[in-house]
Amino acid sequence: MVGSVWVALGLSLTCISALSLLSPAWFQTPTFSFGVLSYCSWPQGDSWNQSCGIFRSLDDIPDFAWKVSAALLLGGWLLVAFHAILLLSWVLAPKELCPRRGSGKMRGVQAAAATTTVLGLLAFPIGLASPFAKEACGASSVYRSGQCQLGWGYVTAILNAVLASILAVIRWPRTTKVQGRTIRFSSDTGKIILMPEGRK
């Protein structure tokens, strides 16, 4: 049961991360929006008639800080996806095959994903000083969006980073069987000492 919850959280985090990464709505004006990997424009008052484009490679991305952000965010997404797939394999595999499920280094993978994502989120607004962003947002500069407003894609990416950080801190409960009873440990260093009963 606990494993299924962790898998659901991991897979939903992967999907949310991919959605925010591909979203063109990180910063937007009434006629233009852009994100890490895509951008869209539309006529004034007609947002249903959008024309969108993507940055096909790092060379197409207009600013160095933006490129760093894209690489970090993509790396964070890959780590989150790897973590979710590994959790799924642990839940589906027989217990004899994976006796130490969800412990040790996998928490480190989740922490690395969260850290990488946060660094990517911090690097992206530096790209607001690029000519591309200045053309779209007017008087934008580092960490100042000018006439652009914060879009749902960036907010979703921030929430994703917060959830990834929380999941990195929360542990998969560790259990063991002693005399037919399941005992939960609070940490990897927790121990139980069994003493033989004394004779009276």
Domain ranges of the chain: 1-171
Phi and psi at residue 74, in whole multiples of 5°?
-65, -40
Work out the percent of the chain whose per-residue pLDDT is above 90. Answer: 1
Which CATH architecture describes the domain 1-171? Answer: Up-down Bundle (1.20)
Please state, in angstroms and rounded to a whole number, the distance separating the CA atoms of residues 18 and 153. Answer: 10
Answer yes or no: is pLDDT of 193 > 70.
no
Find which of 21-35, 168-182, 185-199 is predicted with most confidence, using mean pLDDT. Answer: 21-35
**CA-to-CA distance for 23 and 51, rounded, in angstroms?**
14
- pLDDT for 160 equals 86
pLDDT digits (tens, 9 = 90+) for 125-163: 888 888 888 888 888 888 888 888 988 989 998 988 888
pLDDT band at 189 (very low <50, low <70, confident <90, very high): low
Q: What is the pLDDT of residues 3-44, one digit of tens each?
A: 677 778 888 888 888 888 888 889 988 888 888 888 888 888
The pLDDT of residue 43 is 83
Contact call for residues 50 and 40 (beta carbons, < 8 A): yes
How much helix, strand and coil, in percent to the nearest 5, is found in the chain? 50, 15, 35
Of 164, 170, 167, the C-alpha closest to 186 is 170
131, containing H or E segment? helix 131-137
Closest CA to 82 of 163, 18, 14: 14
Give percent of the chain with pLDDT exceeding 70. Answer: 76
Owner of token pair 């959280």? 9
> Is the predicted pLDDT of residue 186 greater than 60, yes or no?
no
Place 82 in a pLDDT band, splitting at 50, 70 and 90.
confident
pLDDT band at 182 (very low <50, low <70, confident <90, very high): low
Q: The tokens of 61 are what?
A: 């991305």
pLDDT confidence bin for 196, thresholds 50/70/90: low
Structure tokens given for 176:
């063991």
This prediction's pTM: 0.74
- Mean pLDDT across the chain: 78
Give the Cα separation of 135 and 174 in Å (integer): 53
